[in-house]
Amino acid sequence: MRFFQKNIKKIILFVFLIVFFVFLNIYQSSVRNFFYTFSSPFQRFFWQAGNKVSNFFETIKEINNLKKENEVLKAKNQSLIAENISLGELKKENEVLRTALNLGLEKEFKLIFAQVIGKDISQDFLLINKGKRDGVLKNSPVITEQKNLVGRISEVYESFSRVILISHKDFSFDAKIAGKDILGIVKGRGGLKIFFEKIPQDQEIHLDEVVITSALGGFFPEGFLVGKINKVKKSDIEPFQEIEIIPFFEIKKLDCLFIISNF
């Protein structure tokens, strides 16, 4: 009896555990359902939170991958652009050379092919990528592939040269009207403007007539195209007409030129 009283709490706990486990065994499904029902909101919360964190890091990873892919594509795109530009320039050079060959320029003159690397319209000059090491000489004529006179070499450096345009204010040379014996002097006025001077008032000059170089002064070979007559102004008090010429070359389109080195 004394032993029972002394260990009553342990006996009650033991009996309770037996009853509890029997209860769990009998009502196992109901108990599980209760616990699942009770814990499901918490499980859902932590599951969604974990999912969002996982998605967040996956998104960061995808952004980094996209960034790397964009950088690779950008580099490839720039390479393709550079390649297309090079191909375009090569195509243009080939067309220029083909035109010059068709005109037979290489049979008439010793030519040096050059590219324009700088333009200063306000000062009427160009820079080209050929110089002393390429055989360029000062005062050599500079023309386009269509035999249009552009100017002459004014300064020569080791690997580039300066070309003053026929519109330069210090530029003048002998010229004539194509198909006529009307001789005069082409004079630059600056700002891409050129005039045909020393033409008497009694000479008939018409708009759109072509002015070409004359070999009279020895500056250029005869027959280079200079430009077309754009304006003719006569005055009873002036001995000569004022005749403005539009050059055949377009300054903005000048990319490739020829230097005549044997004149």
Distance between CA 152 and CA 159 in Å, rounded? 17
Sign of CA dihedral 248, 251, 257, 258: positive
> What local confidence, expressed as pLDDT, does residue 87 receive?
44
pLDDT digits (tens, 9 = 90+) for 38-50: 555 555 555 455 5
Task: 103-107: list long-range contacts, CB under 8 Å, 24+ apart.
Answer: 103/145, 103/146, 103/147, 105/143, 105/145, 105/147, 105/258
What pTM does this model have? 0.65
Q: What is the DSSP letter of 209?
A: P
d(CA 225, CA 176): 10
102-125 residue pLDDT tens:
666 767 788 899 999 999 988 999
DSSP string over 136-173: --TT-EEE-TT-BEEEEEEEE-SS-EEEEETTSTT-EE
Given this model, what pLDDT does residue 85 score? 42
Structure-derived torsion over alpha carbons of residues 245, 251, 252, 253, reported in degrees to the nearest 10 = 100
The structure tokens listed for 137 are 């000489």
Angstrom CA distances, 100 to 104, 211, 226, stand at 6, 20, 17
pLDDT at site 228: 96
pLDDT attached to residue 14: 61
pLDDT value for 7: 61
175-181: average pLDDT: 92
Name residues whose C-beta falls within 8 Å of residue 260's C-beta, 6 or more positions apart in sequence.
109, 110, 111, 140, 141, 142, 143, 221
Q: What's the confidence (pLDDT) of residue 75? A: 57
Distance CA 38, CA 35 (A): 5
Tell me the pLDDT band of 235, cut-offs 50, 70 and 90.
Answer: confident
- pLDDT tens-digit map of 66-115: 666 666 666 555 554 444 444 444 555 656 556 655 666 767 788 899 99
pLDDT of residue 154: 95
